[in-house]
A and B are shown apart, each in its own frame.
Chain A
Amino acid sequence: MTVTDQSQNSTPTRRSSAATGRKKSSGRLMIFGFLSPTLLILIFMVAYPIISLISYSFYNFSALNPHEGYKWVGLDNYTYLLSDKALWQRFIFTGKFVFVCVSLQMVIGIFVGYQLQKKFKGRDVIFTLLMMPMMLSPVVVGFLWRYMLNSEWGVVNYLISSLGLEKVLWLSQATPALFAAAAADTWMWTPFIILLATAAFRGIPETIYEAAEVDGASPAYKFFRLTLPMSAPVLFIALILRLIDSFKQYDLFFALTGGGPGSSTETVSFAVAKTAFNYFYTGEASALAVILLFIIIGLSMILVRHLNKMGEKY
């Protein structure tokens, strides 16, 4: 990934003309001193675990008794996992979940964010209130929705039946459970999109709209031809963050459905946790974690590359 920011293009020349030998070495000292603590922590907490994880994934062993049965099995963990139909089910479920909730969040978030950029009385208070779902712990969100979606005494079914519609068994059927989880995730994270979208929309210079108004542009034209393209990089970052976060979603399902009914709402993350910490098949869990890791890193690299291209365009 390349780092491009506007200020850098002009600086090297400016700095090299000003820099003397003494300053250069003090600069190197500053870079080293300021970066090494972060680098050390990340090597210890990220690089080292990932390398160990990859090596674990070639072994068959359990964290319960790490010294016994530590057996090299090569790629067996991977071939077993990839031929496991249940795992494919989890990938399909995760994909459906990601698609439903991310598209809902983007559409609602952009719409509400666009409306909130207009100044009106009490906007700051309303804005803060609307951000509340995002501030809650995902576990609380899961339990709260589980409470509201209970088929017998939940308030959602009460509202549905008072509208004259039939009650839905939200959490005990596979498809409604998917939508229940998507509704909870959308509830929690749409505010994040609103936050980013509002920030992006406010960054667009007023003069551009004024010029468009002089030319007699319609509101729809202004939104689709000016606002959206000009805030595309920020919105794309929002999309990337939400795609990655919902792909690795675990906490919400832990509290909301517990993976049920059956194992129909188990995401891939959930499967890793279950294999590692309920069954203690550490080798197999490592292999699954490596697969998940590669998918997410691959996905984000593609998206980030696209983002950089976008940055060049605008």
Chain B
Amino acid sequence: MTRWIILVLLAAYTFYNLGPILWLLISSFKGRADLFAMPPVWVFDINTSGYESVFGVGAAAGTASAYGVVDALINSVIVSTSGTVLAVFLGTLAGYVCSRYDFRGKGDFLFFVLSTRMLPPVAVLVFYHLMFARLGLADTRIGLVLVAIFANVGLATWIMKGFFDGVPKEVEQIAQVSGYSRMYAFIHLVLPMVRGGIAATAGFCFIFAWNEFAFASILTTTKAKTLPVKISAASGATGIEWTQIMSAGVVLIIPVLIFFYLIRKHLLMGMTFGVLGRS
């Protein structure tokens, strides 16, 4: 009996979870008329105009709206990849030092780093808005990369510290006894051991950087717009461009989905290490 209740509840949750995803996928292939059909249609002519405008090909090639979306896609790729790489790089260095050394103010440093996760974006945005304009960073990719680093380096430090905690300290001790420097041990022995952790951290940072909206929406105006911002602009004066929004949503989730599936094992480990390491 309890078994059946559990199964029904699980089925209900799966429907709630996957239904909207399925609906997003279906709607992204619908033309204008089918999108608003009531009752909703299940059989319809496949219409790829939304995807065409996202990639700027086919009928949408060269049109004003398509131009902006392709640009935004390129911006998104550049900003989130370089932001992720840099945040993971810095987080790895900081995480290693915090895992291996005791130094004054370590606890304060770790809390300060973590507090970036607690900061409401709009709070710092009031200031960034002015500072970026003054420094000439407004509406530039570099500015957004800086934001991506700051927003993710805290998480990266914490997760990486967890992974380094899992590597026995004997590794460096043996290396030092054998006459290698600490730096050599770090690069050639410890780093390869936490490859999975780096992948997991990169996965998390990429998801956040790729989907980031609040900062990008206020700090960009034309040139550096990312795809999430461009999507929100698709709800402009001419009404909401639903097909384009749905297609862009599908395009946005694909790289994350592939990434997530590849790193799923490390991801679980990263989460437990990252949080269990402290408790």
CB-based contact B124/A147 at 8 Å = no
Is B195's CB within 8 Å of the partner chain A? no
Q: Say what secondary structure dominates the interface of chain B.
A: helix
If A38-B113, A42-B153, A153-B37 touch, whether A272 touches B102 (CB-CB below 8 Å) is: no
Q: Measured between alpha carbons, how far is A183 from B2 in the docked complex, in Å?
A: 26
Q: What's the least CB distance linking B239 to chain A, in Å?
A: 12
Chain B residues within an 8 Å CB radius of A82: none
Pick out which of these stretches binds chain B: A169-177, A191-199, A205-213: A191-199
B223 interface contact, C-beta 8 A: no
A137 and B111 alpha carbons, distance in the complex (Å): 27
Q: Does A103 contact B (CB under 8 A)?
A: no
The one of A35, A132, A237 that contacts B97, using a Cβ cutoff of 8 Å: A35
Q: Are A233 and B276 in contact (CB under 8 A)?
A: yes
B84 to chain A, nearest CB (A): 14
Interface of A is mostly: helix
Bound together, the chains give a CA A310 to CA B183 distance in angstroms of 36
State which of B111, B149, B165, B173 has its C-beta within 8 Å of the C-beta of A18.
Answer: B173
| B136: interface (CB < 8 Å) | no
Q: How distant is B4 from chain A, measured CB to nearest CB, in Å?
A: 13
CA distance A7 to B125 in the complex (A): 39
User: How far, in angstroms, from A171 to B267 measured CA to CA in the complex?
Assistant: 36
Q: How far is the CB of B263 from chain A (nearest CB, A)?
A: 10
Q: Which residue of B20, B147, B269, B272 is within 8 Å of A200 (Cβ)?
A: B272
A180 located at the interface, meaning its Cβ lies under 8 Å from any Cβ of chain B in the complex: no
A5 & B117 in contact (Cβ 8 Å cutoff): no
Kindly provide the distance from the CB of B38 to the nearest chain A CB, expressed in whole angstroms: 5
Q: Please state if A4 and B253 are interface contacts (CB–CB under 8 Å).
A: no
Q: Which residues of A contact B119 (CB under 8 A)?
A: 46, 293, 296
Q: Does B48 contact A (CB under 8 A)?
A: no
Q: Are A111 and B231 in contact (CB under 8 A)?
A: no
B61 at the interface (CB under 8 A from A): no
Q: A131-B260, A143-B231, A155-B40 are in contact. Are A108 and B13 (CB under 8 A)?
A: yes
Closest Cβ of chain B to A282, distance in Å, is 6
Interface size class of A (residues with CB under 8 A): 35 or more
User: What is the total of A-B residue contacts with beta carbons within 8 Å?
Assistant: 290
User: How many positions in chain B have a CB within 8 Å of any CB in the partner chain?
Assistant: 105
Instruction: Name the residue on A nearest B259 (C-beta).
Output: A135
Asked if residues A27 and B127 are in contact (CB atoms below 8 Å), the reply is: no
- When the two chains form their complex, are residues B235 and A276 in contact, meaning their CB atoms are under 8 A apart? no
Q: Which residues of A contact B101 (CB under 8 A)?
A: 27, 30-31
A47-55, A73-81, A83-91: which one contacts chain B?
A47-55
Q: Which residues of A contact B102 (CB under 8 A)?
A: 8, 11-12
Rounded to whole Å, the gap between the CB of A180 and the closest CB of chain B is: 13
Assess whether A286 is interfacial by the CB under 8 Å rule. Answer: yes
Is there a chain A Cβ closer than 8 Å to B218's Cβ? Answer: yes
A133 and B17 form a contact (CB under 8 A):
yes
Q: Is B256 an interface residue (CB 8 A)?
A: yes
Identity of the chain A residue whose Cβ is nearest the Cβ of B9 in the assembled complex? A111
B:229-279 near A, CB below 8 Å? 229, 231-232, 235, 240, 242, 245-246, 248-249, 252-253, 256-257, 260-261, 264, 267-269, 271-272, 275-279
Any chain B CB within 8 A of the CB of A41? yes
23 example contacts (A-B, Cβ-Cβ < 8 A) are as follows: A1-B111, A3-B107, A7-B165, A34-B93, A35-B94, A39-B109, A46-B116, A111-B13, A112-B10, A130-B14, A137-B228, A139-B228, A143-B245, A147-B245, A158-B40, A199-B269, A251-B213, A255-B232, A272-B126, A289-B122, A289-B126, A296-B120, A311-B278
A-side residues, CB < 8 A to B, are 1-5, 7-8, 11-12, 14, 18, 23, 26-27, 30-31, 33-35, 37-39, 41-42, 45-46, 49-50, 52-53, 56, 63, 66, 108, 111-112, 115, 124, 127-140, 143-145, 147-148, 152-153, 155, 158, 162, 187, 190-191, 195-196, 198-200, 202-203, 219, 233-234, 237, 241, 244, 247-248, 250-251, 254-255, 269-270, 272-273, 276-277, 282, 285-286, 289-290, 292-293, 296-297, 300, 304, 307, 310-311, 314
Question: Nearest 3 pairs between A and B by C-beta?
Answer: A248-B120, A233-B279, A289-B123
6 further A-B pairs in the complex, CB-CB below 8 A; given A135-B256, A136-B252: A5-B277, A11-B102, A31-B103, A131-B260, A137-B211, A200-B275
